[in-house]
Amino acid sequence: MTDTVRRLPRSGCAVLMGILLIVVGTIALAYNLSGFLGFSFVRLARGALSWFGTYWPALLIAWGLYKIYVRLRHPESSYVGAAEVVILAWIVVLGLAVRSGERILGDMSINMTLDHIASVVGPELFGPAHHFTERRSYALEMAEVLVIENDRGEVTVSGWDEEGLEVVITRRVYDFSEAEAQALADELDLLFTVDLGRARLRTSRPEGSRPVFTDLKIRVPKRMRVNVLNGRGAIRLKNLEGAVEASTSHARVEAENLTGGVTVETSHAPIRLERITGRAEARNRNGAVVATSIDGDLLVETRNGSVSAEGVSGSATLRTRHASVHATDVGGPVEVQAHDAEVSVERAHQGVSITTRNRPVFVSDVEGELTLETRNSSVIARLIRGDVVIENQYRHIRLTDIGGGVRINGPQCEVDLESVAGPIVIESSDKDVRVADFASGLEIRSTHARLHVSTKRLAGAVHLETTYGDIELWLPSNASATLTATTLDGEMSSELGKLEESSVNDHGRHWTATLGDGAHPVSISTSYDDIALRKAPR
């Protein structure tokens, strides 16, 4: 019995899904076959809604009779599932809404019927597409700039070796009647003017008329500067040598093989830039940006969209929120400003600056310095030739093969460093700090962290300080150091010779030792835990 009860809600959901699929499939099939079978889909939909608005209570009566029948003949299968309650609620709500709508429309003095509504909204939503194409040519008359203005539709601009302007215009109209679609298409015109070296190509339609989608395929002289203003529709730009600007919304922008620089803008759609010479700028909102093979500087600004930049010879400035940032093979400085964004930078030939939070950061193979300001982000960085400066909280920091110095301010960050050539300064609090194979001075200040430090060659001063954590220092047997160690309530041990306890007072126990000729000062202190001096393996 228990297994049966558990399966019932699943069966109810299956019934609900089955009904939904049948309804959607029936509507789509009726629409697709309306022209072939010679009936009006709008009239059929109107009749179905009118029937439902009138007779929906009969569905409840039939359902109730069926439930009584099942209860009397098959009591073991009689139950009320959650899906049945949902279906019942939907039937009641839809029935009342349809019937109320019919009454309101019937009482209106303007006699607004479903046919009237369908005549306005229906064609654009359900009408087939009609295409009307023509080709036009224009003389540019020494114009240096071409401005293209379009209301809605796709715009493609490509360069060619001719001196004139060629336009292929395709008007797309959605309507049930081809004659009506032709009339709407004829209302839209393409206007071209030239004034003071500035050519203007724009679509024009009568005010208040139904929108018509206008697809433009334009070929212009390669050296001409181009500015595309598209209200809503995709933009494609290719094989141009002049400066290019383009803006649209809710549609993608693609730019390829441009040698005069480019500035593009859109929203809610992706941007792709490829093989651009000169400065490239891309601004987006709720859409991704992909830029590859940029011979110049790159600026990307977006929100809720990922950013990918690869093969940029100049600087790369990348800004986004709530999406990932990936930069690879950048010749100039890299600046990433992000929020709640995963960041990855590889093969940067100059410095890298990153600001983000709440998402991981990975940096590899940087010729210059790395500056990172983040919060609640795990950090992995390796093969950094310059200095590294990190501000972080709450996550793990791991650095490997650092050619310069390292400065970390990481409260509540676990820190791992390996193979660092320059001086190291670390300030932390609760998490462990591990440093291996450092080759210069080292300073660690912490409160509740355990410190594990080792080097094969002592080459600078060392200062290790914590409060509630053990300290282990691994030094080579030939190290040259003057050692001082202090612990308030812990022990001191050494594998590198005898330590002398110099004093015991209210500030703890103090030891001193001289290793080799004592060239480098080494100070170690912890309040309530132990200190161990170990011999580093060769």
**Is 40 part of any domain?**
yes
Residue 439 lies inside a defined structural domain of this protein: no
Query: What pTM value is reported for the model?
Result: 0.74
- My answer on whether 260 and 281 are in the same domain is no
Do the bridges between strand 415-420 and strand 433-438 make them parallel or antiparallel, or are there none, so unpaired? parallel
More confident residue, 23 or 93: 93
Q: Please report whether residue 291 resides in a domain.
A: yes
Same domain, 170 and 261: yes
Q: Phi/psi at 22 (nearest 5 deg)?
A: -65, -45
Cα-based distances in Å from 87 to 15, 64, 153, 350 = 10, 13, 41, 63
Local confidence band at 79 (pLDDT 50, 70, 90 cut-offs) = low
Tokens for 534, please give them. 């170990």
User: Average pLDDT of 18-22?
Assistant: 63
Listed residues 85, 102, 123: the one ending a domain: 123
Those residues whose C-beta lies under 8 Å from the C-beta of residue 153, and which sit 6 or more positions away, are 170, 172, 203, 213, 214, 215, 216, 230, 233
pLDDT above 90 coverage of the chain, percent = 54
Q: Using CA atoms, how far apart are residues 1 and 171, in angstroms rounded to an integer?
A: 65
Residues 69 and 188 grouped into a single domain: no
Give the mean model confidence (pLDDT) for residues 63-68. 76
The boundaries of the domain holding residue 243 are: 128-266
CB count within 10 Å of CB 511 equals 20
pLDDT at residue 4, rounded to an integer: 39
DSSP helix/strand/coil, 24 = helix
pLDDT (average), residues 526-532? 89
pLDDT at residue 98 tops 70: no
Q: Write out the two tokens for 535.
A: 């011999």
**pLDDT at 227 (0 to 100):** 98
What type of residue is 456?
K
149: amino acid identity, one letter: E
pLDDT surpassing 80 at residue 538: no
Length of the chain (residues): 538
Amino acid at 502: S
Q: What is the pLDDT of residue 327?
A: 98
Are residues 310 and 330 both part of a single domain?
Answer: yes
Report pLDDT digits (tens) over 373-411.
999 999 999 999 999 999 998 889 999 999 999 999 998
Tell me the C-alpha distance between 347 and 220, whole Å. 38
> Helices then strands (H, E): number in the chain?
5, 41
**Looking at the domain assignment, is residue 324 inside a domain?**
yes
What is the model's pLDDT at position 381?
A: 97
What per-residue confidence (pLDDT) applies to 434? 96
Distance CA 276, CA 291 (A): 9
Task: Identify the domain boundary among 329, 361, 393.
Answer: 361
**Going by C-beta distance under 8 Å and a sequence separation of 6 or more, which residues neighbour residue 73?**
none
Question: What is the model's pLDDT at position 10?
Answer: 45
Out of 72-86, 242-256, 417-431, pick the least confident. Answer: 72-86
Mean pLDDT, residues 129-153 taken together: 91
Question: Using an 8 Å Cβ cutoff, are 305 and 287 in contact?
Answer: yes
- Say if residue 95 is in the same domain as residue 27: yes
What b/e string do you get for 384-403 counting C-beta neighbours within 10 Å, with b at 16 or more? bbbbbbbbbebbbbebbbbb
In which band, very low, low, confident or very high, does the pLDDT at 80 lie, cut at 50, 70 and 90? Answer: low
256, 138: one domain: yes
- Mean pLDDT across 190-198: 91
pLDDT tens string 492-504: 888 887 777 766 6
Burial code (b: 16+ CB inside 10 Å, e: under 16) for 239-278 equals bbbbbbbbbbeebbbbbbbbbbbbbbbbbebbbbbbbbbb
Highest mean pLDDT among 7-11, 36-40, 439-443, 516-520: 439-443
- Is the pLDDT higher at 68 or at 303? 303
The Cα–Cα gap between 396 and 358 comes to 12
The DSSP symbol for 278 reads: S
Total domain count, the chain: 3
Domain C-terminal end among 220, 238, 266: 266
Residues 119 and 196 in one domain: no
Query: What average pLDDT does the segment 326-353 reach?
Result: 96
The verdict on residue 455 lying in a domain is no
Token duo for residue 59:
């569905």
For residue 490, pLDDT beyond 90? no
Is position 82 within any domain? yes
Categorize the per-residue pLDDT at 57 as very low, low, confident or very high, splitting at 50, 70 and 90: confident
Residue 487: both structure tokens together: 């612990």
Same domain, 67 and 143: no
Within-domain flag for 299 = yes
Angle at 266 between CA 355 and CA 145, to 5 degrees: 115
Task: State whether 62 and 141 are in the same domain.
Answer: no
pLDDT digits (tens, 9 = 90+) for 470-480: 999 999 988 89
Rounded Cα gap, residues 480 and 521, in angstroms: 9
Alpha carbons 173 and 91: distance in angstroms, whole number: 36
Task: Name the token pair of 508.
Answer: 């703890």
Q: In the predicted model, is pLDDT for residue 11 greater than 60?
A: no
Provide the mean pLDDT of the chain.
85
Alpha-carbon span 354 to 313, nearest angstrom: 19
Same domain for 165 and 249, yes or no, is yes
**254 and 132 within one domain:** yes
Q: What is the mean pLDDT of residues 332-340?
A: 95
**In-domain check, residue 523:** no
Question: Greater confidence, 92 or 520?
Answer: 520
- Which amino acid is residue 481, in one-letter code? A
Token pair 């001719």: residue: 162
Whether residue 177 is found in the same domain as residue 236: yes
Range ranked top by mean pLDDT from 92-96, 122-126, 304-308: 304-308
The pLDDT tens digits for 220-270 are 999 999 999 999 999 999 999 999 999 999 999 999 999 999 999 999 999
